[in-house]
Structure 1
């Protein structure tokens, strides 16, 4: 299924803005489209003033236009930021952190981790060797085993470090590490309450299964839908089956969405994340399921949810605020005498719900409380 043009251009913007610059050929490989397609997108984005073009190179217009030049930074005053590649959600957190760190006179050393297990450790070691005074980290952690493999070396870091949108398990070696996260369980609560308030009683949830956020959402879906007195039935599936690690799943976990909706008799769905949600809505349309007439849809992430043919109602975690809060916490650690920065902080910020055109009252329901 072909990706919408505007969605692809948003992904190009996110990639270039996170790195400052990128080669056209690299963007084409990452997006799995032709170089000609990327050039055409870049030309349009440059015409709109959203990017700057060079010979085979694309530069961010954001750095030059929206942020003041950073003052000279003394040695030892740099902060390393490590985020996964192709992750527009965390790139918004990165920009939030950037505004705080640059205002404090810190130089940012950005490291993009490729999509392989253990990719963050060598990047962190390089950053520390280059003199980074502190770290902001968002490890990919596709599986719980990936997460546990990182516990030992992360716990042994001898510089201040804060996790963004990552919360180690209680009792683990990283339980006492500073972290700033969105309260994703509250996000699912908002989605379910919105749909129930519109009279929907049967809901399907589709989540990715290759990140800590996805695993948190899956757990929250099961608990909140299972305990809600007005939810009659619910089911869960993978929004991107190829994203899940090898392992046993119940049959419905890889079910095609429209078939699962029919099986459950669902009139609503909550889909994570935005790109998968937009693609699944197209899939529903191909199978004769109209949004919102036949099925109300809530997306989770709100990075590009509003760009669909039918703009999607979405749960919006406070992505930039997570980055800002993490950077502020790191600055507090850097400014305090060693070991005197106060107790470990595990900060949670609440998402919000943005209502758009993909949700409506259940057909035939005149009183949503019925």
Structure 2
């Protein structure tokens, strides 16, 4: 029996009897108690039941899967019936949140959303797509079956393929993604990544760095915006975009060659004096670059002033890295607020909110002065 089948069996038993004991139910399913205990934990994390000692009970006030309050949800997510009146703060609603991962970048988005939902009396159910567009849509369908009133989604596929949420039949909002052509009317909450990159370049130029390079992750959906802000920053500072390397790293898992070579080129440029400042997306690659510099007898900020992008682990580097910190908590909180406002007032003007990130200055650029001239 697959995990999803076990989950449905657990929820069905709770609807029928109101409670279950882990050991007894595991014996019925022919699986270990540890397996059922983990299933119960996963369902509790999604807000679908309450854990008790030795088992689980149906969450008070929970709805039957597939039955949104005051309306029915068809098999394709189409709403039927009359919508109920929604309080201005959204109290009593249930939202689904679908993000690509729960380890890097998104934990604070989730935390911000949870805090905002709790403050408004909204249940928040979490789903992880694991960067799979197919899994993303599967999770959306499951959340609809669980009876959510609206969805917060971070699509992981190409922008051109992100039109599918428009057919869900419930209000939705994009989180950390700008709507593509297929979602012309979609609301969204994003970090202004272009503004963050521009601030990073302005900071480096203000230190007297004149040859500022860019190292980007090729597979990140934020890459085009970071590059846009970087180029705008160079223009604003009167710097030549061809004076320093602008390179992209192959996605993780494609082999070391596609990732080591760009970092080595950056290190060579620092040694040659043709690179004295760098914006690196993301933290992990900035730390690797820092290690390569040290191996070559070079240092930050003396030889290279570095600004990382994301600020997940930048402060933990041997030389703490200056970093652009996206407002992840605020993004999650604002997304919940906008979706609640949409449900309370369906006719309100549509909103697209871009929140400015913060530049956190640390040792990798602190006290840096203009580097030596090339040659």
Matched, 1:116 2:132: yes
The residue that corresponds to 1:368 in the other structure is none
The residue that corresponds to 1:346 in the other structure is 352
Matched, 1:275 2:284: yes
The residue that corresponds to 1:206 in the other structure is 215
Would the aligned equivalents of 1:241 and 1:254 in 2 still touch at CA under 8 Å? no
2-structure distance, mates of 1:175, 1:155: 10
The residue that corresponds to 2:162 in the other structure is 150
Matched, 1:103 2:103: no
TM-score normalised to structure 2 length:
0.69
Aligned residues: 287
Matched, 1:362 2:369: yes
2-structure distance, mates of 1:332, 1:272: 34
Would the aligned equivalents of 1:73 and 1:107 in 2 still touch at CA under 8 Å? no
The residue that corresponds to 1:79 in the other structure is 95
Would the aligned equivalents of 1:187 and 1:315 in 2 still touch at CA under 8 Å? yes
Would the aligned equivalents of 1:83 and 1:111 in 2 still touch at CA under 8 Å? yes
The residue that corresponds to 2:26 in the other structure is none
Residue 190 (structure 1) aligned to one of 196, 199, 207: 199
* Equivalences for residues 162-177 of structure 1 within 5 A: 162-169=173-180, 172-177=181-186
- 299 and 257 in structure 1: CA distance in 2 versus 1, 3 angstrom threshold: same
1-structure distance, mates of 2:132, 2:273: 36
Unaligned runs of 5+ in 2: 1-36, 46-50, 52-58, 69-92
Q: CA deviation at 1:231?
A: 4.9
* Equivalences for residues 1-16 of structure 1 within 5 A: none
Would the aligned equivalents of 2:201 and 2:234 in 1 still touch at CA under 8 Å? yes
- 292 and 135 in structure 1: CA distance in 2 versus 1, 3 angstrom threshold: same
SS of the aligned residue for 1:173 comes to helix
Residue 135 (structure 1) aligned to one of 151, 157, 163: 151
Residue 296 (structure 1) aligned to one of 305, 309, 312: 305
1-structure distance, mates of 2:174, 2:238: 36
Would the aligned equivalents of 1:292 and 1:357 in 2 still touch at CA under 8 Å? yes
After superposition, the C-alpha distances for 1:316-368 in whole angstroms (9 at most, x for unaligned) are 111100111111001112223xx42x121110111111111001333568xxx
* RMSD of aligned residue pairs (Cα, Å): 3.0
Would the aligned equivalents of 2:100 and 2:129 in 1 still touch at CA under 8 Å? yes
2-structure distance, mates of 1:262, 1:226: 25
- 294 and 112 in structure 1: CA distance in 2 versus 1, 3 angstrom threshold: same
1-structure distance, mates of 2:262, 2:234: 16
Would the aligned equivalents of 1:206 and 1:271 in 2 still touch at CA under 8 Å? yes
The residue that corresponds to 1:33 in the other structure is none
The residue that corresponds to 1:35 in the other structure is none
After superposition, the C-alpha distances for 1:136-176 in whole angstroms (9 at most, x for unaligned) are 111223xxxx332221x11222111111110024xx12121
The residue that corresponds to 1:125 in the other structure is 141
1-structure distance, mates of 2:269, 2:141: 46
Matched, 1:315 2:320: no
Would the aligned equivalents of 1:162 and 1:330 in 2 still touch at CA under 8 Å? yes
TM-score normalised to structure 1 length:
0.70
After superposition, the C-alpha distances for 1:221-265 in whole angstroms (9 at most, x for unaligned) are 234324531457232112x423499xxx9xx96863212445670
SS of the aligned residue for 1:290 comes to coil
The residue that corresponds to 2:19 in the other structure is none
Would the aligned equivalents of 2:198 and 2:233 in 1 still touch at CA under 8 Å? yes
2-structure distance, mates of 1:354, 1:139: 28
1-structure distance, mates of 2:292, 2:263: 15
After superposition, the C-alpha distances for 1:6-60 in whole angstroms (9 at most, x for unaligned) are xxxxxxxxxxxxxxxxxxxxxxxxxxxxxxxxxxxxxxxxxxxxxxxxx999x99
SS of the aligned residue for 1:327 comes to helix
